[in-house]
Amino acid sequence: MSLRGSDLSCSYGSTPVLHEVSVQLEQGELVGILGPNGSGKSTLLKVLAGVLTPASGKVLLEERSLSEYRRRDLACRLAYVPQQVELPFPFRCNELVMMGRYARMLGPGLQEGAHQEAVRQAMRATGVEALADRRFSELSGGEAQRVRIAQALAQEGQVMLLDEPTSHLDVAYQLDLMRLLSSLAAQGQALAVSLHDLNLAALFCHRLVLLKAGRVVACGAPAEVLTVDRLEQAFAVRLEVQAGPPVRVFAGSQSRLGDRRVRND
Amino acid sequence: MIARLGGLMLLGLLGLAACLAVAVSLGSISINLLELDDVTRAILLDIRLPRALLGACVGACLASAGVAFQALLRNPLADPYVVGASSGAALGAALAFLLGLTSVLPLAAFAGAVGAMLFIVRLARIGGALPVDTFLLAGVVVGSFLWSLVSFMLTLARQDMARIVFWLMGSLADARWSQLPLILPYLVIGLGGLYYGALSLNLLTLGEEAAIPLGLPAERAKLWVLLGATLLTAAAVSVSGLIGFLGLIVPHLCRGLVGPDHRLLLPAAALGGAMFLVLCDTLARSLRPGLELPVGVITALLGAPFFFWLLYSRRRLT
Amino acid sequence: MRILSALLALALLCSCAPAPRATTPGPAQRIISLVPSLTEVLFSLGAGPRVIGVTANDHYPPEVEGLPRVGDMAPDYERILALQPDLVVADPGMQPREITRLRELGLPVLSLPSQSLSGLRKALAELSKATGTEARGQELQGQLARLKPPPGPGVRVFVEIWDKPLMTTGGGTFVDELITLAGGRNVYADRQQYPSISVEDLLLRQPEVIVLTVSQVEEARSRPGWDRLAAVRSGRIYRMEPDLLVRPTLRLPQAVEQLGGFLSP
């Protein structure tokens, strides 16, 4: 199972957001997507998930273009967890995870029996079994992220794309979540995750893609990507890097913000 | 799920049967149900029973349409009239009154409601997509425009004004057996269709960005939901005028009782709406014997305080 | 839904049974009037004691006060049915849908378009036939026939039907006919039905006499612009009981006399 995006370009109106980006995602791999705000991380994930159609370029899942899949078939192979979800209605966690089974259910899906086991398994895998009957809106940030990952797992695909799953989480929850993701990778999932925390990325990801203004600055193992020059190129700030493994990045006394144009999107 | 649904349906149908029984036994005159003669039998069977059944159908239509609109717009404050159906129907009805075509009043109201909705969808569609916010905005703007046309027509038709206004307030006074075939097919098809897509309704409430990757063809789903909800609303409006608040409060009450899963919520709201309207209409007919109140006044009298409570409790939550 | 359809089927079967008919040959004995002006006509014919139900808007003659009320805008069908009338009188101009419904319920409905002088004559004829009061009917027809507009061009008069918004009568209505019979000339005879008008337009038309219905003379005098009306300045502004003015009944000679009094200098 592999997901490959080649020469992806995308724009909102006349503003280009992605420019000929190519990425590849293999089974058992946890890929981190890094870059400053507005560099196109979220857009890249949406394009890879098939939520957004690229202006040019192609996304291939198992050598077939995403546009050739029916939505349901795609959902059985690939899951996407958006940055945040707002629930206007008080769904319970098990109901929410059950929605991950939508693509495999028919009509109103009254025969749930076959799916309950998958839901239980997904919740066990993410450690949220105890929350089954709690309302999603009552959960803490970390719990909510786990439930949403359980929903994605319930889709039983082999590819999972997550948009900034660690934002708004405290450091303990961030570590906890990254451990969960890398254990999913160990079980054979192909995961791509956009991150802000460079150290977290260095610690857990097998490969990194560094974006700036919709273009790939660097791509490869953490030690190749997280260099002082490349980080400065992407973030316009000179950071200190300590060779690993794992590589460690920190802001030293010499760090200062260079000429940096902030993009709006 | 099947067991819960079965239990819910059993309970709901029993409740509805009880409400129908109450509606048939109460009215502006008191009838001894044990000693029926020709006249009292005619009152029960030709006046009260068709009216109660029509009320049940209208209530079911409005409440299930309310559920659908709330899911589609992801807004618990949406109701069947939020996007133009009411103003369209009012315009159709006012035209029928103005042109003296009262015999085609239901048809005119139905056409007005569906026409307004189609126009709004057409306006709000951007390159094959129907963004919910644009849709809501277009609905509100077109709705205001159509209402101003209705007001304009009211000033033209002063002698018909009272009748048009009475119709706008919503009433089942016109109920008769021949109206049931006007609404039943839409109830069956609309509610059945929405129920078949109950899981899609669940997903729509997550928002499109989350729903599409779960396998929902969102644009197609939105159009189907809109079609079903519009048919339900238009059918209800065509036989009863604008009965307000029911489509807002019944979905809420039922969500509190059975939860937000549309597989239970839709049938619960349909049955709850049926019961609520049958009881409200019984009040409307019996409160002032010989002078009936428009049932829309009763539902609003009960509904408005509820609405404020809802706003209040939401504000407290956030 | 199953119970509903069962009920529906049952009810359809029951409703196929013959509906109650109380039609008896000969004059109507149990009459319900859904139009206040026709109630008055019935009483004028001497059929008053046989009237068993009227609308909530009936106040004349005083005998109606004790009668059962069977609706206002919407008829109360079950009360009507329960009263077992052998004649229901209604006006197709005001109650087209209601008449259809009453007939469906098997009630003998006399549909009388009565909101004009000719309608009143026709209603008088029909009702005297239906109630067996032909002799009295002839007598009343004679009274109406004796009413003739006095010679001359007629005094220019404005009749206010409603105050907010300002409404009057156009040509061809019953009120317009009444004005003519009383020796007046409606300044708005060129308009139709009951139009809303502006004070400016009224000032241009300068009626010689103003007749109010729902408002009081003192209040009307003090309205902005009204002091510029010749009729107000000369004190020729009067008030008439609205029912007497707008309802086509056999109080017409009385109405003509009162209005004629206002019009004569």
Q: Is the pLDDT of residue C29 over 80?
A: yes
Asked if B13 and C194 come within 8 Å (Cβ–Cβ), the reply is: no
Note the helical H segments in chain B.
Answer: 2-25, 38-42, 49-72, 85-98, 105-124, 132-156, 158-169, 180-196, 198-204, 208-211, 218-240, 246-258, 262-286, 295-317
**CB–CB of C7/B53 below 8 Å?**
yes
| Cis, peptide link before residue A246, omega less than 30° from 0 | yes
Q: E-strand spans in chain A?
A: 2-12, 15-26, 30-34, 56-61, 64-65, 78-81, 159-162, 190-194, 207-212, 215-220, 240-242, 248-250
With CA atoms as reference, the chain B residue closest to C14 would be B45
Asked if A110 and B1 come within 8 Å (Cβ–Cβ), the reply is: yes
Question: Best of A89, A104, A153, A161 to disrupt the B interface by mutation (most B CBs within 10 Å)?
Answer: A89
Which of C1, C56, C78 is closest, CB to CB, to B28? Answer: C78
Burial C195-214 (b: 16+ CB within 10 A, else e): bebeeeebeeeebbbbbbbe
Per-residue confidence (pLDDT) for residue A259, from 0 to 100: 52
Average pLDDT over every residue of C77-96: 89
Pair (A130, A202) in one structural domain: no
- Across the B/C interface, how many CB contacts are shorter than 8 Å? 104
B176 within domain boundaries: yes
Residues of C in contact with B56 (CB under 8 A): 4
Pair (C81, C47) in one structural domain: yes
| Cis, peptide link before residue C165, omega less than 30° from 0 | yes
B226 within domain boundaries: yes
> Which chains does C contact via 3+ CB–CB distances below 8 A?
B
Number of H helices, E strands in chain C: 12, 9
Count of structural domains, chain C: 2
Q: What are phi and psi of A107, to 5 degrees?
A: 50, -135
Give the CB-side neighbour count of residue C106, counting CA atoms within 13 A: 19
Pair (C110, C174) in one structural domain: no
Closest-CA distance, B1 to chain C, in angstroms, reads 19
A117 within domain boundaries: yes
Asked if B209 and A92 come within 8 Å (Cβ–Cβ), the reply is: no
Q: Is A132 on the interface with B (CB under 8 A)?
A: no
Pair (A13, A33) in one structural domain: yes
The one-letter code for the residue type at A11 is S
In order of B265, C39, C60, C249, the CA distances from C243 in angstroms are: 54, 13, 9, 10
**Which residues constitute the domain of residue B146?**
11-26+47-317
C1 within domain boundaries: no
What pLDDT band is residue A263 in, cutting at 50, 70 and 90? very low
Question: Is residue C121 classed as helix, strand or coil in its secondary structure?
Answer: helix
C194 within domain boundaries: yes
Asked if B42 and C12 come within 8 Å (Cβ–Cβ), the reply is: no
Per-residue confidence (pLDDT) for residue C110, from 0 to 100: 92
Pair (A72, A168) in one structural domain: yes
Pair (C34, C139) in one structural domain: yes
Which of B1, B76, B196 is closest, CB to CB, to A89? Answer: B76
Q: The CATH number of the domain where B139 resides is what?
A: 1.10.3470.10
The one-letter code for the residue type at A82 is P
C7 within domain boundaries: no
Question: Is residue C190 classed as helix, strand or coil in its secondary structure?
Answer: coil
Residue written as token pair 């420019």? A19
**CB–CB of C259/C184 below 8 Å?**
yes
**Which residues constitute the domain of residue C206?**
155-263
Q: How many residues does chain B have?
A: 318
Q: Is B214 on the interface with A (CB under 8 A)?
A: yes
**CB–CB of C132/C26 below 8 Å?**
yes
Pair (A220, A176) in one structural domain: yes
For residues B291 and C53, what is the distance between their CA atoms, to the nearest angstrom? 13
The per-residue DSSP string of B86-153 comes to: HHHHHHHHHHHHHTT-GGGHHHHHHHHHHHHHHHHHHHH-BTTB--HHHHHHHHHHHHHHHHHHHHHH
Lookup: tokens for A25 = 């995602």
Pair (C221, C161) in one structural domain: yes
What pLDDT band is residue C158 in, cutting at 50, 70 and 90? very high
Q: Is B75 on the interface with A (CB under 8 A)?
A: yes
Residue written as token pair 């300045």? C233
A98 within domain boundaries: yes
B128: left (phi over 0), alpha (psi -120 to 50) or beta: left
B282 within domain boundaries: yes
Which residues, 6 or more positions from B28, have their beta carbon under 8 angstroms from its beta carbon? B285, B286, B289, B290, B292, C76, C78, C79
Pair (A176, A48) in one structural domain: yes
Per-residue confidence (pLDDT) for residue C18, from 0 to 100: 40
> Which chains does A contact via 3+ CB–CB distances below 8 A?
B
Pair (C137, C28) in one structural domain: yes
Q: Is the pLDDT of residue C204 over 80?
A: yes
Angle at CA B190, nearest 5°, toward B187 and B191? 75
Pair (A194, A220) in one structural domain: yes
Q: The CATH number of the domain where C129 resides is what?
A: 3.40.50.1980
Kindly report, residue by residue over C59-73, the tens digit of the pLDDT.
Answer: 888 888 889 999 877
B37 within domain boundaries: no
Closest-CA distance, A120 to chain B, in angstroms, reads 16
Average pLDDT over every residue of C201-207: 89
Domain limit, last residue, from A156, A179, A199 = A156
Closest-CA distance, B103 to chain C, in angstroms, reads 7
Q: Is the pLDDT of residue A264 over 50?
A: no
Residues of B in contact with C73 (CB under 8 A): 162-163, 166
Question: Is residue B68 classed as helix, strand or coil in its secondary structure?
Answer: helix
Asked if C74 and B102 come within 8 Å (Cβ–Cβ), the reply is: no
* C-alpha radius of gyration, chain B, whole number: 20
**CB–CB of B76/B193 below 8 Å?**
no
Count of structural domains, chain B: 1
Pair (C113, C208) in one structural domain: no
What pLDDT band is residue A130 in, cutting at 50, 70 and 90? very high
A93 within domain boundaries: yes
Q: Is the pLDDT of residue C175 over 70?
A: yes
- Per DSSP, what are the bridge partners of residue A30? A191
A256 within domain boundaries: no
Which residues, 6 or more positions from A67, have their beta carbon under 8 angstroms from its beta carbon? A50, A53
What pLDDT band is residue A255 in, cutting at 50, 70 and 90? low
Domain limit, last residue, from C118, C145, C172 = C145
Question: Best of A52, A102, A111, A159 to disrupt the B interface by mutation (most B CBs within 10 Å)?
Answer: A102
Q: Is C170 on the interface with B (CB under 8 A)?
A: no
For residues B70 and C238, what is the distance between their CA atoms, to the nearest angstrom? 57
Q: Is the pLDDT of residue C15 over 60?
A: no
Chains C and A touch (3+ CB pairs under 8 A): no
B41 within domain boundaries: no
Pair (C93, C162) in one structural domain: no
Asked if B155 and C196 come within 8 Å (Cβ–Cβ), the reply is: yes
A116 within domain boundaries: yes
Question: Best of B196, B202, B205 to disrupt the A interface by mutation (most A CBs within 10 Å)?
Answer: B202
Q: What are phi and psi of A43, to 5 degrees?
A: -60, -40
**CB–CB of B187/B229 below 8 Å?**
no
Pair (C133, C180) in one structural domain: no
Pair (C202, C249) in one structural domain: yes
In order of C32, C36, C37, the CA distances from C51 in angstroms are: 6, 12, 13
In order of B37, B297, C167, C250, the CA distances from C255 in angstroms are: 47, 38, 20, 9
Residues of B in contact with C105 (CB under 8 A): 42, 46-47
Kindly report, residue by residue over A23-56, the tens digit of the pLDDT.
Answer: 999 999 999 999 998 888 999 999 999 988 888 8
Q: What is the mean pLDDT of chain A?
A: 87
Asked if A74 and B215 come within 8 Å (Cβ–Cβ), the reply is: yes
Lookup: tokens for B15 = 């409740």
C6 within domain boundaries: no
Lookup: tokens for A219 = 């791509």
Q: The CATH number of the domain where A44 resides is what?
A: 3.40.50.300
Kindly report, residue by residue over B110-122, the tens digit of the pLDDT.
Answer: 899 999 988 998 8
**CB–CB of B161/B98 below 8 Å?**
no
Which helix (H) or strand (E) is C52 found in, with range? strand C51-53
A234 within domain boundaries: no
Per-residue confidence (pLDDT) for residue C19, from 0 to 100: 45
Which of B56, B155, B163 is closest, CB to CB, to C4? Answer: B56
Which helix (H) or strand (E) is A199 found in, with range? helix A198-204
Pair (C220, C188) in one structural domain: yes
Pair (A62, A168) in one structural domain: yes
Pair (A138, A41) in one structural domain: no
Chains B and C touch (3+ CB pairs under 8 A): yes
Q: Is A117 on the interface with B (CB under 8 A)?
A: no
Asked if B158 and C193 come within 8 Å (Cβ–Cβ), the reply is: yes
Pair (C125, C45) in one structural domain: yes
Residues of B in contact with A79 (CB under 8 A): 213
3-state helix, strand, coil in chain C (%, to 5): 45, 15, 40
Interface pTM (ipTM) of the complex? 0.88
Residues of B in contact with C196 (CB under 8 A): 155, 158
For residues C142 and C144, what is the distance between their CA atoms, to the nearest angstrom? 5
Average pLDDT over every residue of A134-140: 90
Asked if C193 and B155 come within 8 Å (Cβ–Cβ), the reply is: no
With CA atoms as reference, the chain B residue closest to A95 would be B261
Closest-CA distance, B204 to chain C, in angstroms, reads 27
Q: Which of C153, C150, C163, C149 is nearest to C210 (CA)?
A: C163
Residue written as token pair 């109103």? A108
Kindly report, residue by residue over C97-152, the tens digit of the pLDDT.
Answer: 889 889 988 899 999 988 888 899 999 999 999 998 988 988 888 988 888 888 88
Q: Which of B104, B99, B109 is nearest to B157 (CA)?
A: B99
Question: Best of A71, A92, A105, A145 to disrupt the B interface by mutation (most B CBs within 10 Å)?
Answer: A71
Residues of B in contact with A71 (CB under 8 A): 212, 215-217
Pair (A104, A41) in one structural domain: no
Per-residue confidence (pLDDT) for residue A82, from 0 to 100: 92
C45 within domain boundaries: yes
B289 within domain boundaries: yes
- Across the A/B interface, how many CB contacts are shorter than 8 Å? 93
Per-residue confidence (pLDDT) for residue C14, from 0 to 100: 40
Pair (A34, A146) in one structural domain: no
Count of structural domains, chain A: 2
* C-alpha radius of gyration, chain C, whole number: 22
DSSP letter (8 states) at residue B47: I
**Which residues constitute the domain of residue A35?**
1-77+157-224
Question: Is residue C89 classed as helix, strand or coil in its secondary structure?
Answer: strand
Q: Is C106 on the interface with B (CB under 8 A)?
A: yes
C150 within domain boundaries: no
A164 within domain boundaries: yes
Q: Is C167 on the interface with B (CB under 8 A)?
A: yes
For residues B292 and B119, what is the distance between their CA atoms, to the nearest angstrom? 36
Residues of A in contact with B192 (CB under 8 A): none
Q: What is the largest distance, in Å, between two alpha-carbon atoms of chain B?
A: 66
Q: Is B207 on the interface with A (CB under 8 A)?
A: yes
What is the residue-level pLDDT of chain B in tens, covering all 318 positions? 888 999 999 999 999 999 999 999 888 888 888 888 888 888 888 889 999 999 999 999 999 999 999 999 998 888 888 878 888 988 998 888 888 787 788 889 889 999 998 899 888 888 778 888 888 889 889 999 999 998 888 877 666 777 788 888 888 888 888 889 889 999 999 999 999 999 999 999 999 889 999 999 988 999 899 999 999 998 998 888 889 889 988 998 888 889 899 999 999 999 999 999 999 999 888 887 767 788 888 888 877 787 677 667 765 544
Pair (A51, A104) in one structural domain: no
Pair (C141, C159) in one structural domain: no
| Cis, peptide link before residue A82, omega less than 30° from 0 | no
Pair (A170, A121) in one structural domain: no
A245 within domain boundaries: no
